[in-house]
Structure 1
């Protein structure tokens, strides 16, 4: 009898977890690690984030028939060694990127880098029919809190507005907070995606866990500030358990935020 009860509880927990995962996925999904073959099968998302180099204009048109809004990942604050322009810009990097061995923090004040982001990568994304930019690694300003870095990020974000696409900043809380304080945030972006508000990543042991109360409180206060400024808010969590999923769902429902619970760091 006890064994039967354990099985029933396990099944119920599994169904609840599935329900949360499904409800979450219908709203928002971040899949920048997916290949074209995998991504083209995605459906029913209200908001979707993809790696633009994997998709062409026809692919995006097909995805739009199933999904309402599609953002393109655009890394403006660091340089990955697998990008075709790596050799051209590697001498403009500032330091290695901790926990990501194929990435380096970028000197975003470099004019040629800015031109690449805006006039080549940004244009390519707009031409393919994406609805917006999912901007990554504005945290370069946290790593190198210099005015030239702040100004470089602002220059890229202001110039990229010429494509009239929505712009979401992934992370970058130090940069975003400064923009809000200086009342220039809404000139450059429409919202933020914050990773790991409720969950944490143990890179050394490759495990997911729960955020400390202190760190969670910091991010909740930060997102209150973002919301008060009239910006959209998205959350990306990693490997949340059923209790944490319920906490995330409650928090996001109360605040009108979208959220996604990623199953792996590669975001596949």
Structure 2
């Protein structure tokens, strides 16, 4: 992978690759899991990526819709408010129209040959999330999704609080910023406090043992130094992982 060659003191590359930008599909190779933004790839592209990797999953948010999304216009009049960090709008899963649009989009995406889906913004539906009053709706949506696509791999992003209810319907989980701690308020990349990190890893190990599904760590860095500090932490945990920049738009490259 070209994007990882600039890193110092890296003995191995990540086993997971996240990218929400457009790339040459033939340059994505050797990963256990690949998560892509479907608008940048057609069915032919996905076939190529699948030949070179393990599971290839398509990104979709169940909590928000970006203003640049092709289905934004179908939802813009029934959203609940704006997320200033990402120029996206909160979805109302209590609305039958919202659910219908999401399932139509999922049907279209999976028709291109993806092995499954990466479900983003699930933490929006937890205690401190914007849609905390829609817990039953998100759990019901994921259950319905698994019933409709039982053979597809469903990867849940965040929402640890909901795993007791969703674990029957998902095949794995992503947790962001476990070893690292990016903050939007000041756009700073840094390490998480060591005790907080240790507590977090302990909790994730408990979840992994209890539910027996893969947990993927997604960490954020802006330098080779921070990358290596993160890797020193998580390399001992045996979790699958990916380390990139916060926008996830391409191959992560870090200055030495």
Does residue 124 (structure 1) correspond to residue 111 (structure 2)? The answer is no
Contact 2:17 2:35 in 1 (8 A): yes
Q: SS where residue 192 of structure 1 aligns?
A: strand
Q: Of 75, 82, 102, which aligns to 1:96?
A: 82
Does residue 232 (structure 1) correspond to residue 209 (structure 2)? The answer is no
Tell me, in whole angstroms, the C-alpha distance in 1 between the residues paired with 2:71 and 2:105: 11
CA deviation string 1:86-137 (max 9, x = no partner): 232123222322422x11221122111112222x122122211111110001
Contact 1:191 1:232 in 2 (8 A): yes
More helix by percentage:
1
Q: SS where residue 60 of structure 2 aligns?
A: strand
1:212-227 maps to which residues of 2 (within 5 A)? Answer: 212-227=193-208
Aligned residues: 235
Name the TM-score, length of structure 2 as normaliser. Answer: 0.84
Q: Give structure 2 stretches of 5+ with no counterpart.
A: 1-5, 251-256
Tell me, in whole angstroms, the C-alpha distance in 2 between the residues paired with 1:15 and 1:79: 37
1:34-53 maps to which residues of 2 (within 5 A)? Answer: 34-35=21-22, 37-53=23-39
| Structure number with bigger Rg | 1
Does residue 266 (structure 1) correspond to residue 248 (structure 2)? The answer is yes
Equivalent position of 2:19 in the other structure: 31
Does residue 60 (structure 1) correspond to residue 41 (structure 2)? The answer is no
1:150-189 maps to which residues of 2 (within 5 A)? Answer: 150-161=135-146, 162-163=148-149, 164-176=151-163, 180=164, 184-189=165-170
Equivalent position of 2:178 in the other structure: 197
CA deviation string 1:155-209 (max 9, x = no partner): 2211212222111111122332xxx1xxx43321111100100001132332310
Name the TM-score, length of structure 1 as normaliser. Answer: 0.80
Larger relative contact order (CA 8 Å, sep ≥ 6): 2
